[in-house]
Amino acid sequence: MDWHNIPLRIIIGNLISFSASLFLIASCIIREPKKVFVLQTFENIVLSISSAVLGSYAGISTLLIAAVKNALVAMGRFTFGLMVLFCIVLTVVGLMVNNRGLIGLIPIFATVSLTVCNYYTRDILAIKWSLLLNIALWSIYGFLIWDFALGTMQIITGIITLVSIRRTERAIREAKKAARSQQGS
């Protein structure tokens, strides 16, 4: 690859995406739902800057709307009505500013599906599984818009999330086993 022919905006966008991914990785390791959503708020804001640099308007709009949604979830103020409103706004705004055709639909679908999951899931494992779906979609999107840092970091984050899910499942099983042992005593 000839580095001299890569537009500077792609390099800058990838560097910004990489830094945003650090927030996502941290959110996938944490076991406290509120902190997960605070970190994802920061990740969405930084990633929206990367989308701006890379010229993906659907990405910018869905990420900024998702940042507000994540902040509301973290504060415990995300109601059914807000979920419906956010889904409608994400879809309408995302479609209005989509300049990437079918590729531009990926961030819309990823963010709407995670928005629905954010309302219905309270359990940390369910939150992590919904994050994993979202991570897979954003990874595909990243590669399709030449945001290789995003695509690669999403894959790495997905692996970290899977490990975290397994550890959390193990901890839950051990806690249930310990509780049964204490009941039997």
Q: Is the per-residue pLDDT at 3 higher than 60?
A: no
Residue 31: helix, strand or coil by DSSP? coil
Q: Is residue 175 part of a domain?
A: yes
Q: 40-79, pLDDT tens digit by residue?
A: 999 999 999 998 998 888 788 889 999 999 999 999 999 9
Host H or E run for residue 99:
none
Q: Is residue 50 part of a domain?
A: yes
d(CA 171, CA 173): 5
Residue 28's pLDDT is: 77
Q: Is residue 53 part of a domain?
A: yes
Confidence of residue 5 (pLDDT cuts 50, 70, 90): low
Residue 105's pLDDT is: 93
Q: Is residue 3 part of a domain?
A: no
Confidence of residue 4 (pLDDT cuts 50, 70, 90): low
Range of the domain at 56: 8-184
Q: 80-92, pLDDT tens digit by residue?
A: 999 999 999 999 9
pTM: 0.78
Residue 152's pLDDT is: 93
Neighbours of 165 (CB within 10 A): 17
| Mean pLDDT across 121-133 | 88
Number of structural domains (the chain) is 1
Q: Is residue 2 part of a domain?
A: no
Q: Is residue 1 part of a domain?
A: no
Q: Is the per-residue pLDDT at 180 higher than 80?
A: yes
Q: Is residue 106 part of a domain?
A: yes
Q: Is residue 170 part of a domain?
A: yes
| Mean pLDDT across 136-165 | 91
Residue 122's pLDDT is: 78
DSSP conformation letters of 101-156: GGGGHHHHHHHHHHHHHHHH--SHHHHHHHHHHHHHHHHHHHHHTT-HHHHHHHHH
Q: Is the per-residue pLDDT at 2 higher than 60?
A: no
